[in-house]
């Protein structure tokens, strides 16, 4: 690769450096290495230290026709950052500066190579945090969070990283690009497509993210519920009551039983072995079922899953609230009424133990592979109305090939994520068969094939099938920013998935023809509406059903949604859940099957812009709604302190005039200094 030496950018062709950058943490690569097949090595690895050095590397790659693989910390589990022969890996770890922290504005300017824990430590020293806490926080970078549209363990309160991301600078083969809040006037904002693109559009060098004050108080608890259905209902009610817990983490009966009442708490099993992590839980579960060694139960997964299904149905829910003390205390009575309707309070220990050990995972799979087996995780998501069917279908599909357990987290008013952990015996073919069956089950059940791990290689075709003709919007952006296809080729979508099919990716859910409200998912609080409905007509139609839009539009829906810029709305406000568009050739794209879907980039705004330009017709929009509160509380908060506004989530906020709704509204108003809860227009 002649010419790298002249760029004045640190690089290496050492085989060990190339091997270190040749793969991420995808379990399939671990399985292949166990079978003696080493990954393909890139030709070189470079470590740029600023935007200019990234620019020089990309220009060099374009001149030489080299594939470029952006690389963060290599913690991805889907193969998205695995290198390839003949490629140049651009490792961002020397882009590791925290450039500015502005507490008054609630933002931080950070380079993409900063490790997550380093960022949180630096912010905490200033009294702030992002609120993003993935289990990989010790070994993942900010740029990686952008690439995969990551979600942290506190996403029910703070949102996924995409909700925190305000702006990004990207060096693309076509030139520098500022996106989000940094988008030049008159230009299209491409940040929704950059987040989740897995390095296929360019190299993210630095970002602007929202930050929040370090919580003054934290309340953590464990609750036992008689079964999953009852626990799901409690989670749904908590989120739709707008109480905004920071943690909602539910363990299925197997994980609850194996881990004890604290849902995975390290302890000793009958043989004195420590029970911790996926390997420990699998071993403990096998012993409970009378099976002594790990390979045996994994070789007969169908029997083991049937035996596990016969265990007690009781499940553990870990719940947490955090923020200013007076606000936490204001919401707890309403939260406890919901939780204790059907749940048994187990005290603080389950929640506090989870908090102390929430990052003790991700590093304990090697013994499973060494024992001739394999293990992996699959995170999927769906609205509340389809969650039970998604859980049943995927569990059944994976269970034919592997031992399966699950937990449920990343809950939102509209739905929830399911995180399956599964392990089996055998070779790569059996591993692939498990994944193929699971992904097909997700599609058939109407869920999304990934929520926060990204797409990578194994899910690329399933993600492309989920998006269907919507990929036309992706390829238009890809061809504009990377016309020669140099950036991470084949990810997150295979090149043959060009969106040319004239049929929807999944059976379209055709609502009735009458408008302006075409259909309502009462359980998930999602309304399917006519795209040309006026705000007034839409509000009136929803009011007749006892509903209102969570984010009322100031004008016509499609232009408003297409033109929204980052930072215009608070991080928890999601104005558009999904949409359906029809292209001139009859192809139909339906996007938005699950909350905060991470099946690659977010193409909703790009599709809306295409429709406004005459290249497609919007057939319907899916918008989040809430039930009308019969007694909203109106308060005046002097100065509308931005830090406080990020902690309190009013239904509507106009300057310092806030409208609070839900069972804790009056208590929150009093905590804000409005004795008696306001009770009227301030």
Model confidence pLDDT, tens digit, residues 530-554: 999 999 999 999 999 999 999 999 9
What top-level class would CATH report for the domain 100-213?
Answer: alpha beta
How confident is the model over 483-509, as a mean pLDDT? 76
Distance between CA atoms of 451 and 378, rounded to whole angstroms?
9
Give span(s): CATH 3.30.465.10, the chain.
100-213
Q: Point out the least confidently predicted range of 240-249, 476-485, 629-638.
A: 629-638
Per residue in 549-586, pLDDT (tens digit) is 999 999 999 999 999 999 899 888 999 999 999 999 99
Average pLDDT score over residue span 283-308: 58
| CA distance linking residue 48 with residue 11, whole number of Å | 8
pLDDT higher for 650 or 366? 650
Quick one: which H or E segment has residue 111?
strand 107-111
Q: Residue 427 has what pLDDT?
A: 86
Q: How far is CA 42 from CA 19, 143, 146, in A?
A: 8, 20, 23
Q: 18, 176, 172: which is closest to 87 by C-alpha?
A: 18
Positions of CATH 3.40.462.40 in the chain: 217-445
Taking 80 as the threshold, does the pLDDT of residue 269 lie above it? no
CB-CB neighbours of 506 under 10 Å: 15
Alpha-carbon gap, residue 49 to 112, rounded angstroms: 11
Q: Are 151 and 409 within 8 A, CB to CB? A: no
Q: What is the CATH number of domain 217-445?
A: 3.40.462.40
Confidence bin at 449 (pLDDT 50/70/90): very high
The domain 4-91: what is its CATH number?
A: 3.30.43.10
CA 512 – CA 522 distance, rounded (Å): 16
Residue with tokens 């500015």: 100
Residue 664: per-residue pLDDT: 96
Nearest to 210 by CA among 173, 253, 157, 251: 157
Q: What is the pLDDT of residue 509?
A: 54
Are 566 and 181 a contacting pair, CB within 8 Å? yes
DSSP 369-398: HHTTEEEEEEEEEEEHHHHHHHHHHHHHHH
Check whether 46 has a pLDDT greater than 90.
Answer: yes
- The average pLDDT across 381-393 equals 97
| Torsion sign (Cα): 332, 340, 545, 163 | positive
Per-residue confidence (pLDDT) for residue 357, from 0 to 100: 85
SS3 227: coil
Q: How far is CA 313 from CA 13, 278, 301, 562, in A?
A: 55, 20, 19, 46
User: Which of 62, 60, 33, 64 shows the shortest CA–CA distance to 48?
Assistant: 60
Residue 292 has pLDDT above 50, yes or no: no
CB contact at 8 A, 189 and 566? yes
- Tell me the C-alpha distance between 64 and 5, whole Å: 14
- Residue 463 and residue 80 in contact, taking contact as beta carbons nearer than 8 Å: no
pLDDT on residue 273: 38
Rounded Cα distance, 387 and 262, in Å:
24
Residue 606 has pLDDT above 70, yes or no: yes
For 455-466, how does the pLDDT look when each residue is reduced to its tens digit (9 = 90+)?
Answer: 999 899 999 999
Cα(558)–Cα(576) distance, integer angstroms: 10
Q: What is the chain's Cα-based Rg?
A: 24
Instruction: Please state, in angstroms and rounded to a whole number, the distance separating the CA atoms of residues 573 and 629.
Output: 18
pLDDT at 121: 97
**pLDDT digits 0-9 by tens, 323-355:** 999 999 999 999 999 999 999 999 999 999 999
Mean pLDDT of the chain: 89
CB 132 within 8 A of CB 225: no
């Amino acid at each position: 690769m002649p010419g790298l030496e002249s760029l004045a950018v640190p690089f290496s062709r050492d085989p060990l450096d190339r091997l270190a950058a040749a793969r991420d943490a995808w379990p399939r690569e671990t399985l292949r290495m166990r079978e003696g097949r080493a990954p393909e090595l890139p030709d070189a690895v470079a470590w740029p230290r600023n935007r200019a050095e990234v620019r020089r590397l990309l220009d060099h790659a374009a001149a030489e026709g080299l594939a470029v693989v952006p690389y963060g910390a290599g913690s991805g589990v889907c193969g998205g950052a695995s290198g390839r022969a003949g490629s140049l890996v651009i490792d961002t770890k020397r882009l590791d500066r925290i450039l500015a922290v502005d507490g008054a504005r609630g933002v931080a300017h950070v380079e993409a190579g900063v490790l997550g824990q380093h960022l949180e430590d630096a912010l905490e020293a200033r009294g702030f945090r992002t609120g993003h806490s993935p289990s990989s926080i010790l070994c993942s970078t900010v740029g990686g969070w952008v690439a995969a549209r990551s979600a942290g363990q506190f996403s029910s309160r703070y949102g996924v990283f995409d909700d925190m991301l305000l702006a990004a600078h990207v060096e693309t083969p076509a030139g520098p690009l500022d996106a989000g809040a940094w988008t030049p006037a008159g230009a299209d904002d491409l940040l929704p497509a950059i987040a989740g693109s897995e390095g296929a559009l360019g190299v993210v060098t630095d970002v602007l993210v929202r930050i929040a004050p370090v919580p003054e108080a934290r309340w953590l608890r464990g609750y036992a519920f008689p079964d999953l259905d009852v626990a799901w209902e409690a989670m749904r009610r908590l989120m739709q009551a707008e109480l905004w817990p920071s943690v909602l983490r539910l363990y299925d009966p197997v994980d609850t039983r194996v881990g004890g009442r604290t849902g995975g708490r390290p302890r000793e099993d009958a043989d004195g072995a420590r029970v911790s992590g996926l390997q420990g839980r699998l071993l403990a579960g096998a012993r409970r079922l009378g099976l002594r060694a790990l390979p045996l139960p994994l070789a007969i997964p169908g029997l083991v899953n049937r035996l596990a299904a016969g265990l007690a149905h009781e499940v553990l829910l870990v719940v947490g609230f955090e923020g200013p003390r007076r606000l936490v205390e204001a919401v707890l009575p309403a939260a406890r009424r919901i939780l204790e309707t059907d749940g048994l309070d187990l005290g603080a220990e389950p929640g506090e133990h989870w908090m102390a050990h929430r990052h003790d995972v991700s590093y304990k799979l090697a013994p499973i592979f060494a024992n001739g087996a394999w293990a992996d995780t699959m995170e999927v998501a769906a609205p509340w109305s389809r969650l039970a069917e998604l859980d049943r279908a995927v569990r059944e599909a994976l269970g034919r090939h592997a031992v399966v357990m699950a937990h449920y987290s990343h809950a939102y008013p509209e739905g929830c994520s399911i995180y399956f952990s599964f392990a089996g015996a055998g070779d790569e073919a059996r591993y692939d068969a498990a994944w193929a069956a699971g992904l097909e089950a997700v599609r058939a059940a109407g869920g999304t094939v990934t929520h926060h791990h990204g797409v990578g290689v194994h899910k690329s075709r399933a993600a492309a099938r989920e998006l269907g003709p919507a990929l036309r919007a992706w390829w238009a952006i890809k061809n504009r920013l990377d016309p020669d296809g140099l950036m991470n080729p084949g990810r997150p979508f295979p090149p043959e998935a060009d969106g040319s099919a004239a049929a929807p990716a999944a059976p379209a859910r055709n609502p009735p023809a009458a408008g302006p409200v075409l259909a309502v998912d009462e359980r998930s609080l999602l309304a399917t509406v006519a795209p040309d409905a006026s705000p007034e007509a839409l509000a009136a139609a929803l009011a007749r059903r006892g509903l209102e839009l969570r984010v009322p539009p100031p004008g016509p829906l499609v232009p408003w949604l297409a033109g929204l810029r980052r930072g215009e709305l608070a991080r928890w406000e999601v104005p558009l859940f999904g949409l359906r568009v029809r292209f001139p050739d009859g192809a139909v794209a339906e996007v938005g099957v699950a909350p905060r879907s991470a099946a690659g980039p977010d193409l909703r705004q790009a599709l809306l812009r295409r429709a406004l330009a005459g290249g497609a017709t919007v057939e319907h929009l899916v918008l989040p709604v809430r039930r009308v509160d019969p007694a909203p509380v109106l308060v005046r908060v002097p100065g509308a302190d931005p830090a406080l506004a990020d902690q309190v989530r009013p239904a509507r906020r106009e300057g310092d005039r806030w409208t609070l709704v839900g069972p804790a509204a009056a208590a929150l108003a009093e905590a804000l200094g409005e004795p008696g809860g306001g009770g009227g227009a301030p």
